[in-house]
Amino acid sequence: MVKRTSHQSADCLIARPLDAIGDWWSLLIVRDAFDGMRRFGEFQRSLGVAKNILSARLRNLVAHGILETVPAPDGSAHHEYVLTEKGRGLFYVLVALRQWGETYFSGPGEPYTFMVDTRTGRPIRRLEVHAEDGRRLVPGETRLADFRQQPD
Amino acid sequence: MVKRTSHQSADCLIARPLDAIGDWWSLLIVRDAFDGMRRFGEFQRSLGVAKNILSARLRNLVAHGILETVPAPDGSAHHEYVLTEKGRGLFYVLVALRQWGETYFSGPGEPYTFMVDTRTGRPIRRLEVHAEDGRRLVPGETRLADFRQQPD
DNA sequence: TCCATTCGGTTTCAACTTGAAACCATTGCG
DNA sequence: CGCAATGGTTTCAAGTTGAAACCGAATGGA
């Protein structure tokens, strides 16, 4: 084994993102960041992850431009980790994952949970894929593989 | 180290799905499955993954009910791997990941690529999150963390 | 002042996972 | 029959992960 395979230079726009976030912890860190967590200790307590692993993951997320460090507002010597715009772009990935989880990973006997509109407290709609003209598309109607074309 | 941490029993509907697909290969296998691949060899050639790893991943995806094995239609002794309904539910995760990849992982100088409506060849729309009443929601307006409530 | 704690990590080291390559069992075919 | 292709499993070295120990810089009390 030379090294764990990297998808970084893969010619696939699903593989490349996975190189940045495709491990067991990164998306959970991003999720916590969406929930307002910013400090090393907050992530550590929330996730229960070993500190060396968290340290490595945060470094990787910063290196990929998903999080950035900012000086702590309380004037302490430490810094905080906040989502960049690129990081906030992961929102849809998390919503998709969450809705899939709601549907297929709710334990039997567990109360059914769902994402809610914080304004009304009502469940949000399920994600849908739409064509340019507004038609709803199902899996067979769009391809996940690359399709190269110069934008006109 | 006891074992790699499992999120299987985590009380979080983002963590639990990650336990099933949160490694470097599983989502790529699912992506290929959406593109019609079914045979061990097809996945192996497409991904360039070691056979033992592919074998373990396929077994895991089957165990999680994301893929299922069906007898090969050509009457050979082998079987094929096809997406279950649960597996097809990952479509939105892949679309979200792909759109994020299109936006932030297109190499400079690379032709811009995007997912297209196979009927018209035109790009599909970006995913959006909507409230029950149709209002478009941005990250702060819905929470990824669990919110438990009995559906009425 | 001085000891104790918290915060944010890094280091260490054993166990576990990954990947390349070799190996193996069936079928397919000439 | 001989030989290649398919679909794996086994083996083993190297890489990754995680628990725990350690560390330095700031607080925080007594």
d(CA A130, CA A133): 8
β-strand partners of A109? none
Does residue B8 sit at the A interface (CB-CB below 8 Å)? no
Strands B129-130 and B79-83: unpaired
Which residue's structure tokens are 């690359």? A146
CB within 7 A of strand D (chain B, 59-88): 59, 72, 76, 78-79
CA distance B63 to chain A (A): 14
Nearest CA in chain B to A127: B129
For chain D, which bases have at least one atom within 7 A of a protein Cβ? Answer: 6-11, 13-21, 25-27
B46 close to A (CB below 8 A): no
**Contact: B22, A22; criterion CB under 8 Å:** yes
**Please, which residues bridge with residue B82 across strands?**
B68
> Which segments within chain B are labelled E, that is strand?
67-71, 79-83, 129-130, 136-137
Per-residue tens of pLDDT for chain B, all 152 residues: 556 788 987 888 999 999 999 999 999 999 999 999 999 999 999 999 999 999 999 999 999 999 999 998 776 778 999 999 999 999 999 999 999 999 999 888 887 888 999 999 999 999 999 999 999 999 999 998 765 443 33
Q: Mean pLDDT in runs of 10 for chain A (152 residues)?
A: 76 92 95 96 96 97 97 85 98 98 88 90 97 96 68 34
Residue carrying structure tokens 């060849």: B121
* Per-residue model confidence (pLDDT) at position B112: 81
What is the Cα gyration radius of chain A?
18
State the complex-level ipTM.
0.92
Confidence at residue B8, expressed as pLDDT on a 0 to 100 scale: 87
Q: Which nucleotide is nearest to B25 (CA to C1')?
A: C18
How far, in Å, are A6, A74, B33, B38, B61 from residue B42 at the CA level? 20, 55, 10, 7, 16
In the structure, how far is the CA atom of residue B52 from the C1' atom of nucleotide C23, in angstroms?
A: 13
Place of tokens 């790009």: B123
Q: Which of A31, A12, A141 has its CA nearest to residue B97?
A: A12
- CATH 1.10.10.10 range(s) for chain A read 15-88
Whether residues B129 and A14 touch (CB distance < 8 A) is answered with no
Query: For domain A15-88, which architecture applies?
Result: Orthogonal Bundle (1.10)
Binary contact (B129, A92; C-beta < 8 A): yes
Residues constituting chain A: 152
| B28 neighbourhood in chain A, CB within 8 Å | 7, 12, 14-15, 18
In this prediction, residue A151 carries a pLDDT of 35
> Taking the C1' atom of C13, which residue's CA lies nearest?
B1
Point out the nucleotide closest to B2 (alpha carbon to C1′): C15
- Could you give the 3-state DSSP secondary structure of residue A97? helix
Tokens of B72: 């090969």
A136: CB partners within 8 A, 6+ apart = A128, A129, A130
Q: At what angle do helices B26-34 and B51-63 cross, to 10 degrees?
A: 80
Closest among B123, B128, B96, B120 to B112, alpha carbons compared: B123
**Longest CA–CA separation in chain B, Å:** 53
**What is the identity of the amino acid at B124?**
I
Can you tell me which residue has its alpha carbon closest to the C1' of nucleotide C21? B50
